[in-house]
Amino acid sequence: MLRRALPARPEARRILLGTLLSAVGRGLTLPFLFIYLTDVRGLSDNQAGLVIGWFGAVTLALSPLGGTLIDRFGARRVVLPCLAVEALGTASLGLVHSVGTAFAVSTLIAVGGSALWSGQSTILASLTDEGERQRVFGLQFALLNLGIGVGGLISGAVVDVARPVTFQAIYLLDAASYLTPGLILLTLPHVGHRLVQARAAGAARASGGYLTVLRDRPFRRLVLFGLVLTTCGYAQIEVGFTAYSVRVVEVTPRVVAWALACNTVMIVLSQLLVIRRMEGRSRTGALAAVGGVFATAWLVLGAAGVIGTGNALLAALGVVACSAIFGFGETMLSPVMPALTNALATDELRGRYNAMSSMIFGISGIIGPVTAGPLLGAAHGKVWVAFVVGGCLIASVLALSLRRLLTPAQDGRATPVAVPDPQPVAA
């Protein structure tokens, strides 16, 4: 299955290798930024939260500019500087000593990361054809989670709040990991250039920009689906899932950590099988199924909340099962969403399409945590469960409504080969 999922072009395989190596570095630092800022550098919880929130806001604000630059100059000229800036910013985290420096470093990292995902997606799309693109994006997601999981295991055994040097070491390693995709890209001089050659000024203006992207009715529907699903799905993991598990189900943080580990294991083990099973099937049907799977995961968590301390073991298993079921839904979403985005995109605007798609997660990342707090405080978390389950089911309906706006090829459905009618024989 792995051999089947690998892209045909060796350049694309090397890009995926860079994704894996950089993900290991990301996993070293991903779980510990809040702890580092508060317990090591002395920032208050509110100050650390503002710093992390500022990072998300700056990334979201700069993402549209990144898409424009990718279309105008090529992904290569955008990704390479962004990787260098990201590496510099991540290394500088080890030097943070005040709120001001934390905001400055956070800004630097956000500038570097604002165009990375859309740029790398554009490069990968340019190196794959429509038939293999869905498999490749799914494999990319599996490698990303594998790398983050490995990095998290390593850093968990190394970091110590009593020794700030351990945090400085993992931030330096993370910075070095950001340079590896850049070095790989430098060895591929013909990869990542502008997809469409410069044309006359009038023709260039005719190709349009974000207004043209927003006029694409199928893509608008896809963006709406993504906003609803991620607001009630991904964006609830860090705040809603964790807070409900600890405060309502009353499990320990260790159980939450095991649940998140099971999420990663589920993705790594099942992604290749899911990719194979989804070939030739409707992409909109798969997206609708994702909404159903996410809703099921939240219902399981809600049931664990009802059980509560009455049966601590069963409640803990419910929390772990929720995270594992959610991970299975992610394996269906990860190959389809970028593949459908790039099926709708044109080469002239591919960078903007990918930037808009990545902005979905940024916007929902702001809406989700803001809504989770008040909803968790109402009716012992039952209102929050109803909100996220209902939102996921609404996303499923939106996905099904998208099918009639797509061609069979865009929807990924296998179409039978047409057999030509026999021609009448001339008299």
- Domains in the chain: how many in total? 2
Residue type, position 47, single letter:
Q
What pLDDT score was predicted for residue 208? 67
Angle between helices 130-158 and 10-29 (to 10 degrees): 30
Distance CA 88, CA 412 (A): 41
What pLDDT score was predicted for residue 251? 86
In a shared domain, residues 223 and 189: no
Asked if residue 420 belongs to a domain, the reply is: no
pLDDT tens digits for range 133-150? 899 999 999 999 899 888
In a shared domain, residues 260 and 112: no
Q: 207-225 in b/e burial notation, b at 16+ Cβ within 10 A? A: eebeeebeebebbebbbbb
What pLDDT score was predicted for residue 67? 92
Say what the pTM is.
0.84
Angle between helices 283-307 and 217-232 (to 10 degrees): 20
Which residue from 143, 36, 69 is spatially nearest to 351, judged by alpha carbons? 69
To which residue do tokens 């779980």 refer?
Answer: 31
Return the number of other C-beta atoms located less than 10 Å from residue 295's C-beta.
23
Asked if residue 22 belongs to a domain, the reply is: yes
In a shared domain, residues 16 and 145: yes
Distance CA 371, CA 387 (A): 10
In a shared domain, residues 279 and 339: yes
Give the contacts of 385 (CB within 8 A, at least 6 positions apart).
244, 298, 299, 301, 302, 305
Distance CA 96, CA 105 (A): 8
Q: Residue 99 maps to which CATH number?
A: 1.20.1250.20
Q: What is the pLDDT along the chain (427 residues), one digit of tens a residue?
A: 778 888 989 999 999 999 999 999 888 887 678 778 888 898 887 888 788 878 888 988 999 999 999 999 999 999 999 999 999 999 999 999 899 999 999 999 999 999 998 999 999 999 998 888 899 999 999 999 899 888 888 887 888 878 889 889 999 999 999 999 999 999 999 999 887 764 444 444 445 688 999 999 999 999 999 999 999 998 888 778 888 888 889 888 778 878 888 998 999 899 989 998 988 899 999 999 999 999 999 999 999 999 877 888 999 999 999 999 999 999 999 999 999 999 999 988 999 999 999 999 888 888 887 777 778 776 678 899 999 999 999 999 999 999 999 999 999 886 444 434 444 444 3
In a shared domain, residues 170 and 235: no
What pLDDT score was predicted for residue 202? 43
Residue 321 C-alpha from the chain's centroid:
21
- Extract the tokens encoding 234: 């991904």
What pLDDT score was predicted for residue 414? 62
In a shared domain, residues 231 and 379: yes
SS3 (DSSP) at 226: helix
Asked if residue 237 belongs to a domain, the reply is: yes
Which residue from 264, 287, 274, 340 is spatially nearest to 5, judged by alpha carbons? 274
In a shared domain, residues 167 and 285: no
Domain span at residue 362?
216-407
Distance CA 102, CA 100 (A): 5
What pLDDT score was predicted for residue 204? 45
In a shared domain, residues 144 and 40: yes
Asked if residue 427 belongs to a domain, the reply is: no
Sequence-ordered alpha helix ranges (H) in 187-216: 201-206, 210-215
In a shared domain, residues 373 and 265: yes
Distance CA 280, CA 306 (A): 40
